[in-house]
Amino acid sequence: MPGLPLTDTHCHLDLMSGENLAVLAEKAPAAGVLTFFVPGVTLNSGTSDLSPVKIFTNPSIKIFSMLGVHPGYLQDFSETAFQRQAEIRQPFMIGEIGLDRRYEERFSGEYQASCFRSQLGTARELDIAVSLHIVGRHEKALRIIREFPGIRGIVHGFSGSPELAREYLRAGFLLGAGPLILNPACRKLRKTVSVISPDYLVPETDAPFLFRYDGSRKIPAQPDLIPDIIKETARLQGKNYEDTAAAMIQAVNRLMPANTGHL
Ligand SMILES: [Zn+2]
């Protein structure tokens, strides 16, 4: 695979087991994947314990941590505690945050929206990007993010229509293209990827939670899958790998504040 350094923009390194990580530490750099964005799911994930990642010995590896409380883990959410963590940890992004219809029995839509707004407010105050996790509540999510002019980020795991994709682009967001685009059954998503400029697509795996579909076999999606995701994006768009990879890398770079540090 060509030598451009690649980024996995959504990878739960801190939630991976030792064995998975050992494989990943070897395979990801070999596939050219040297940068990882690690989302937070609870106040104490994402940023606080990245000790397992010490397994990466390659000096070119860069790991960027986010702070965020996922809509399925809002039981202890407190705006004060969240802002305090943001001050202490100085995350490079806020995420993954958003709305998820599947958790509404546990956390009402109203409660999810209020936690979402609170985290978006912190992101805007710090002038950093956000990683959105939105399931089944896109219209509402778009209404809420429009309350925060200037907010920017990635819609993680995007799987919607071209029309919905364009709504998010207009609202200042990039779309996270993940392992689902490799699944021929995901027709709507593949259609979207074929018509959205790679300037607005960033690659992600959501490891260790997703699979790649390889015929009848399900193979865990690890970050070394990133070149395949870019290759498939290029194929769906009728473009070559190098140009698509370069555009997607540019898209990632637009998110990174100039002075950002890494762990
Ligand atoms: Zn995730």
Q: What is the pLDDT of residues 91-116, one digit of tens each?
A: 989 999 999 999 999 999 999 999 99
Residue among 169, 176, 175, 127 at smallest CA distance from 148: 127
* Residue 142 reports pLDDT greater than 90: yes
Return the DSSP state at 104.
Answer: T
Residues 210/182, Cβ–Cβ less than 8 Å: no
CB 163 within 8 A of CB 182: no
- In the reported structure, the alpha carbon of residue 53 is separated from the centroid of ligand 1 by a whole-number distance in angstroms of 17
CA of 204 to the centre of ligand 1 (A): 10
Query: How far, in Å, from the CA of 96 to the mean position of ligand 1?
Result: 7
Instruction: Kindly give the distance from the C-alpha atom of residue 22 to the centroid of ligand 1, in angstroms, as a whole number.
Output: 20
What's the CA-to-centroid distance between 11 and ligand 1, angstroms? 7
Query: What b/e sequence results for 146-182 when a residue is b if at least 16 CB atoms lie within 10 Å of its CB, and e otherwise?
Result: eebeebbbbbbbbbbeeebbebbbebebbbbbbbbbb
Superfamily, domain 6-255: Metal-dependent hydrolases (3.20.20.140)
Establish how many alpha carbons lie within 13 A of residue 112's alpha carbon, considering only the half-sphere containing its beta carbon.
26
Whether the CA torsion 21, 22, 25, 30 is positive or negative: it is: negative
- When mean pLDDT is compared over 41-45, 68-72, 210-214, the highest value belongs to 68-72
DSSP state of 54: G
- 72 versus 13: the higher-pLDDT residue is 72
Cα distances (angstroms) measured from residue 190 to each of 125, 159, 160, 161: 35, 8, 9, 9
SS3 letters for 144-195?
HHCCCCCCCEEECCCCCCHHHHHHHHHCCEEEEECHHHHCCCCHHHHHHHHH
Assigned token pair, 146: 């429009």
- Give dist(CA 204, CA 153) in Å, integer: 14
Distance (angstroms) between ligand 1 centre and the Cα of 215 equals: 25
Q: Say if residue 156's pLDDT is above 70.
A: yes
- Who surrounds ion ligand 1 at CB < 5 A? 206
Question: What mean pLDDT comes out for the span 178-188?
Answer: 92
Within the chain, where are the H helices?
18-30, 79-89, 109-126, 138-145, 162-170, 187-195, 226-237, 241-255
- Give the model's confidence band at 209: pLDDT under 50 very low, under 70 low, under 90 confident, else very high: confident
CA angle 105, 109, 113 (to 5 degrees): 140
66 CA distance to ligand 1 middle (Å): 11
Residue 195 CA to ligand 1 center (angstroms) comes to: 25
